[in-house]
Amino acid sequence: MISKLELQIAWRYTRAQRKSLFVSLISLFSMAGVCIGTFALIVALSATNGFEHEVTRQMIDKDSHFEVSSYHGTPIESWDSLDHAIRNAHPEIMASSPFILYKVGISSKKVNDGIVIYGIDAKRSAQVVNLKSKVKWGEYSLDSIADTANNKRPAIMLGSVLANRLRVVLGDKVVVQTFASPDDAMSGKMVQFIVGGVFETGMYEYDANLGYIGIPEAQALLGMPGSVSGIQFRIEDPWKSDIVSKKVETDLGYPYYAVDWKAKNATLLKWMNYEKFIVAAVITLIILIAAFNIISSLIMVVLQKTREIGILRSMGISSAGILRIFMAMGSFIGLAGTTLGGITGVGLCLIQEKWKLIQLPPDVYMIPYFPMQIQWADVFIVLAIGNFLCIIATLLPAWKASRLDPVGAIRHE
């Protein structure tokens, strides 16, 4: 254990020296480097955690936890009995809803485009997918709407970006059409819809390419009466979706398969995990560079204090005591740098987390603001790594000081 006297000597040596301003500046620069590295690492990890949390939250909100479909896109005819069997066998399932998924063309008065259309049961789907809370204009409803001529037309809900691209507002008419088969030019169908709602999930790709219609309208449009593309499910714990979906797939067997939200977004989830590791590794180099500055400053202190070290040795302080004194000097620099950097980094993250001052362009990012999420385990690890590197950096100069010969050191000029 380091003694009180050794701590006092280390603190005295750490403070600004009147005779060696240059050494003092190196120590300050070392502390500033540790501070900047700690600050940058905490902010970067919090930003990475924030992005990961927001993106996964939006993925879970906009989609079901897992879904069951048939291989080769074959429509499921007796879907209600299949749904009943799955729910009875797996009590962790909270809700389910059939769906139809297909790529279609859509036309307004001014724009033609291609989109992905979802046929859903609005009431059942509201228990599985959190689309109702995302409706920005209009209503969450797929009931028929009367047009200007008082003719009943089926409703459609469009993403906000898609509605803007089509230049339509609530009450406007759009035409949804299937693409004609190469073998049968007359196979395409067209159905007129009225825009009854506009939703905004915050994820640009979904808001720009998705439309929702009722299942009866989708079945009529695609020529698949009584059939659906698959069934969506919601479970108690979305993080266990892969486990439940595998059990369901095993129970059902061919020709059915199950896919959960993690599998759908596997590439994005892996990228976010790798990104956190890479960011932490790169920014840690800043602290490592500052640690090399600590080595330089302590070596210069050893050279400057050679005579004083000899006097301390002659007064009875052991070589191990000299070693602890110089290790304490580096520790003071590291502790000051990591503390200041940690306080500043955490403070900035808390401000951004609460007030969301830094905004992001929604057409580039999935999230309209720069998200922050502080994980205190990360903060503790950053502070521990910063101080550990600073202590390791003191070993060489501290060992050098402890090996000085007392007589030779006193005679040193």
Q: What is the pLDDT of residues 13-46, one digit of tens each?
A: 877 554 566 777 778 888 999 999 999 999 999 9
Phi, psi of 148 (to 5 degrees): -65, -25
d(CA 270, CA 274): 6
d(CA 45, CA 52): 10
Tokens of 234: 């919601």
In terms of domains, do 282 and 361 share one? Answer: yes
Under 8 Å between Cβ of 26 and 294: no
Under 8 Å between Cβ of 119 and 213: yes
In terms of domains, do 161 and 39 share one? Answer: no
In terms of domains, do 242 and 283 share one? Answer: no
In terms of domains, do 23 and 107 share one? Answer: no
In terms of domains, do 106 and 247 share one? Answer: yes
Counted domains in the chain: 2
In terms of domains, do 325 and 300 share one? Answer: yes
Please indicate, yes or no, if residue 262 is contained in any of the structural domains.
no
Domain stop point among 254, 284, 301: 254
Please indicate, yes or no, if residue 259 is contained in any of the structural domains.
no
Domain span at residue 133 reads 75-254
Tell me: the pLDDT tens digits for 267-291? 989 999 898 899 999 889 888 888 8
pLDDT at 18: 47
Tokens of 336: 């000051």
Contacts of 186 (CB under 8 A, 6+ apart): 180
Q: Shortest CA distance to 38 belongs to which of 352, 382, 377, 394?
A: 382
Please indicate, yes or no, if residue 13 is contained in any of the structural domains.
yes
Please indicate, yes or no, if residue 200 is contained in any of the structural domains.
yes
In terms of domains, do 96 and 232 share one? Answer: yes
**First-last CA distance in the chain:** 32
pLDDT at 95: 97
d(CA 320, CA 2): 10
In terms of domains, do 248 and 272 share one? Answer: no
* Predicted model pTM: 0.81
Q: What are the residue ranges in the chain where pLDDT is below 70? A: 16-21, 180-187, 362-364, 366, 412-413
In terms of domains, do 295 and 373 share one? Answer: yes
Domain stop point among 254, 286, 313: 254
Please indicate, yes or no, if residue 67 is contained in any of the structural domains.
no
d(CA 234, CA 65): 5
pLDDT at 183: 60
Please indicate, yes or no, if residue 279 is contained in any of the structural domains.
yes
In terms of domains, do 249 and 272 share one? Answer: no
Please indicate, yes or no, if residue 223 is contained in any of the structural domains.
yes
Amino acid code (one letter) for 155? A
In terms of domains, do 304 and 329 share one? Answer: yes
pLDDT at 227: 96
d(CA 144, CA 147): 10
Please indicate, yes or no, if residue 260 is contained in any of the structural domains.
no
Calculate the dihedral angle through the C-alpha atoms of 353, 354, 360, 366, rounding to the nearest 10 degrees: 70
In terms of domains, do 112 and 222 share one? Answer: yes
Domain stop point among 221, 254, 287: 254
